[in-house]
Amino acid sequence: MKANKKERFITVIDEHKKIIYKIVNSYCPNRADRKDLEQEIIIQLWKVFDSYNPDYKYSTWMYRIALNTAISFYRKEKKWYAKKDFFNEDSIFNLAEKDNDDDVTLDKNIRLLQNFIQNLNELDKALMLLYLDEKSYEEIAEILGITKTNVATKISRVKEKLKKEFQKI
Amino acid sequence: MEADELKEIMASYDAKLDSILSLNESSLKKMKLDNTRKQTRYIVILRSIEVVSFGILAIILGGYIVDNWSSTHLAISGIILHIFTLIALIGSIGQLVLLQQIDYAKPIVEIRKKIELVNSHSLLFLKLMLLSAPIWWAYPIVAFDGFFNIDLFTHMDPDFVLKYVIVNALLIFPLVWLLNKLTHKNIHVKWIRKTMGFLTGTKTKKALEFLNEIEEFAK
C-alpha cells in the first residue's frame, strides 16, 4: 500500500517537475540551496499528499505548497556552506546537456528572465512566476489568496517595473 | 523587453525543460520522506511550555488574590499581575492555535500571515513589559510577600506612595500612545523600525516588516 502511494507520488512529481524546478531556480540563486529547497518541497508535498483536495488541480495544490515552502526557505538565514554532506547529495532533477545555437540565445534570455524574477520580492516573484506560466487570473488568485482584481493590478504594476528595468539594458 | 516577450521566453524555456529535464527517480526513492524535519515542532514545544508556565502562574496568583483579599494593596497588586499573566497566557494559546492552522496547501497570503504572526510573538511580551512599567511596583510587592513574607507596602511612606502612584499613572498616557505606534502597520517609520529592532531583535523586526508587506500585497 505504502509502495503504491510512493509510486503515485513519484508519478505526480514527475508530471509536475517543471513547477518545482522553476520555483527552486527563482528563489535560490546558489546551487547548494537549490538541492536543499528541492528536498524541502518534496518532503512538504509528501507530508500532505494524503490530504490532497481533488477540488483543486494538482498544479494549484503543488504551486501553493512549493511557493509556501520556497518563501519560508528564502526567509530563513541559511548557511548552506555549513552543510557537510552537500557534495554527496544527488539532485532530484537531471538536466541533459543539449546545446545548439538556438539554445545559446535562449539560455541568454532565460538568464535575463531569471535575473529579473530573482530581483523581485518574495510575493511578486510568486505572482510573476504564475503569470509567466500562463495561469489564469482566477487560478493565480486562488493560489495566492488575493482577489482577481488585485491580481490584475499587481501584474500591471510589475509589468511597469519590468519595462523600466529592461529600458536600462 | 515587454511582458509578452518574457512570456514567450518562459514558453520556450518550458519547451526546453520538457526535453532536457528528467526526474532522478532513484534519488527520490532514496529520500527518507517520512523522516520529515518538523520546523514547527520546536516552536510548538516552546509555546506549550509558555502555556503551561503562564497557566500555573495564573493559578498561583489566583490563590494569592483569594488569600489576601482582605489586604487591599496585596489584592490589587495580585490582580494586576494576574491580568498580565492572563494576557500572556491568551497570547501563547493563540500562537498554538495559529501553529495548528499552518497548512502549506492553503493560499500563500493566508499562510504567510500566520507564520509571520508566530514569528513576531515577542512583540506581545514587549508590549506587556512596557505596559507594566507604570505599575511595576506590583511585582516586588507580590514577590516579597509571596517568597519572604515581607509586606513592602507597610514599610513605605504614604506620601511617597501617593506621589509615586500619580507620576506612574501619568506615564500611562505616553505609553498607550507608544504601544499604539508599535505595530507592523507603522514599520515603515524609521524610529519605530529601529525601536522594534532594538527591543525585540532582528527576527521579530523582519517578521513585522514582512507582515506589513503581505498586508500591502493583499490590499
> DSSP readout, B79-99?
HHHHHHHHHHHHHHHHHHHHH
Which chain A residues are Cβ-neighbours of B217 within 8 angstroms?
123-124, 146, 154
What's the fold here for domain A1-95? Rna Polymerase Sigma Factor; Chain: A (1.10.1740)
Give the pLDDT confidence score for residue B135 in this predicted structure. 85
Share of chain B above pLDDT 90, in %: 49
Give the pLDDT confidence score for residue A50 in this predicted structure. 87
Instruction: Map residue A6 onto helix, strand or coil.
Output: helix
Q: What are residue A94's DSSP bridge partners?
A: B22
Residue B141, pLDDT > 50, answer yes
b/e for B78-111, b at 16 or more Cβ within 10 A? bebbbbbbbebbebbeebbebbeebebbebbbbb
Give the pLDDT confidence score for residue A77 in this predicted structure. 55
Instruction: Map residue B184 onto helix, strand or coil.
Output: helix
Number of domains in chain B: 1
Task: Note down the domain range covering B64.
Answer: 42-218
How far is the C-alpha of A38 from the C-alpha of A42, rounded, in Å?
A: 6
To the nearest whole angstrom, how far is the Cα of B57 from the nearest Cα of chain A?
34
Residue B144, pLDDT > 70, answer yes
Give the pLDDT confidence score for residue B37 in this predicted structure. 57
Q: Taking CB atoms and an 8 Å cut-off, how many pairs form between chains A and B?
A: 155
Interval B184-201: pLDDT, tens:
999 989 999 999 889 888
Give the pLDDT confidence score for residue B214 in this predicted structure. 93
Chain A residues 51-110 with CB within 8 Å of chain B: 51-53, 61, 64-65, 67-69, 71-72, 75, 90-98, 103, 106, 109-110
Q: ipTM > 0.95?
A: no
Which of A18, A19, A44, A132 to mutate: most B Cβ within 10 Å?
A132
Which chain A residues are Cβ-neighbours of B29 within 8 angstroms?
6, 10
Give the pLDDT confidence score for residue A124 in this predicted structure. 92
The dotted CATH code for A98-169 is 1.10.10
Confidence of residue B6 (pLDDT cuts 50, 70, 90): confident
According to DSSP, the β-strands at B21-23 and A93-95 are antiparallel
Indicate the residue of A48, A122, A154 with minimum beta-carbon distance to B104.
Answer: A48
Mean pLDDT, chain B, rounded, equals 89
Confidence of residue B142 (pLDDT cuts 50, 70, 90): very high
Averaged pLDDT for residues B42-60: 95
Neighbours of A130 (CB within 10 A): 23
Q: How far from A116 is each of A83, A159, A166, B6, B70, CA to CA, in Å?
A: 28, 11, 9, 10, 70
- pTM for the whole structure: 0.83
Is residue B35 in a domain? no
At residue A89, φ and ψ (nearest 5 deg) are -80, 140
CB A156, CB A126: distance < 8 Å: no
Asked if A116's CB is within 8 angstroms of B115's CB, the reply is: no
Is residue B122 in a domain? yes
Is residue B150 in a domain? yes
Say what angle helices A101-118 and A148-168 make with each other, to 10 degrees.
Answer: 120
Is residue B12 in a domain? no
Residues of chain A with confidence (pLDDT) below 70: 1-3, 77-90, 97-106, 166, 168-169
CB A38, CB A93: distance < 8 Å: yes
Closest residue by Cα to residue B101 from B44, B54, B51, B50: B44
Q: Is A152 on the interface with B (CB under 8 A)?
A: no
Say what angle helices A122-132 and B108-119 make with each other, to 10 degrees.
Answer: 160
Is residue B199 in a domain? yes
Is residue B28 in a domain? no
Instruction: Map residue B23 onto helix, strand or coil.
Output: strand
Is residue B163 in a domain? yes
Is residue B128 in a domain? yes
Q: Is A121 on the interface with B (CB under 8 A)?
A: yes
Asked if A92's CB is within 8 angstroms of B28's CB, the reply is: yes
Tell me the domain boundaries of chain A: 1-95, 98-169
Q: What is the DSSP letter of B102?
A: -
Residue B69, pLDDT > 80, answer yes
Give the pLDDT confidence score for residue B47 in this predicted structure. 93
To the nearest whole angstrom, how far is the Cα of B104 from the nearest Cα of chain A?
5
